[in-house]
Amino acid sequence: MPQTRPLFRRLLLVVAAVGALATSSAHAAKSTECTQLKLCYCVNDEFKPLIEAKVKFFRAVIAEQKLKGKAIGYISAPLSTLGGGYFDVNAEVSLTAKKRVEARFGESNAWMLDPGSKESELTLPSGARGSNDDYMLMWTQILEGPSGTGDDFDFVYFVGPSDFGAVFGLAGTGDMDKISAYFDDRLGKDAGLKREVDRGRVTRNTFRNYYALKASVTFSNGAHDEWNIFRQLNERRRVDPKYGVANQIPMLFDGKSVAPAAAEQSITPGVSAACKS
């Protein structure tokens, strides 16, 4: 993403300044932060300046792409190491999906914001890392946009089974065999995967079952919140004379447009919730 480098350097300076003020995050206070869509997250107070800086950064990146006349999309993908999935594999699939969608529509006409990118990380110089709530507060604010109607985005793409299948080379025959072989090969090369295996967070069987049977936004907490975000943005648009039904944000899942009834249906929240008293 060469065009974002000057902005990214400025963001790094902001992160350094935030880190200079940071105390140990292990005991940092948390508080409930709610967005324009009334979605609330229990966030680490220490990360609030960094989240604000990241939101400004991505809005500037989006503005650069819009100036080039591009349609702006968002990639919603499972990323966390949960349920047998592994973050690094999921981030690679998210990047591959970004490139495939951009190639499908034409790189001169479409640009996808990838939440699995390095620029998306919430990490202070002290080494403290953001939680799922911190990330989702950031992404919700980015997706809502300044007006709370998602004006920065022209469409959203929810990653599905075929997006994962393309990365693993699945063709409907011996798919679990291929995934198991992939795991064995990667385990010997990927220190991060080995750490997750040693911790008991991932096993050969859970990895196989996840990527053969579950790999999609359906099993992602963050993607559940992102689905509800876009559903609410479109709900706002449908009743706003400025937009109406014709100007809803298109939602795509696994390469195809989402049916109207499904697009208007809310789903179980992911991590959005107020802090527990």
Per-residue pLDDT, 129: 81
Per-residue pLDDT, 23: 42
Measured in Å, how far apart are the chain's first and last C-alpha atoms? 42
What mean pLDDT do residues 30-39 have? Answer: 95
Q: What is the pLDDT of residues 209-221, one digit of tens each?
A: 999 999 999 999 9
Per-residue pLDDT, 217: 97
Per-residue pLDDT, 14: 47
Q: What is the pLDDT of residues 39-85, one digit of tens each?
A: 999 999 999 999 999 999 999 999 999 999 999 999 999 999 999 99
Q: How far apart are CA 47 and CA 15, in angstroms?
A: 10
Q: How far apart are CA 191 and CA 5, in angstroms?
A: 29
By the 8 A CB rule, do 225 and 233 touch? no
Query: What pTM value is reported for the model?
Result: 0.89
Q: How far apart are CA 226 and CA 143, in angstroms?
A: 9
Per-residue pLDDT, 104: 98
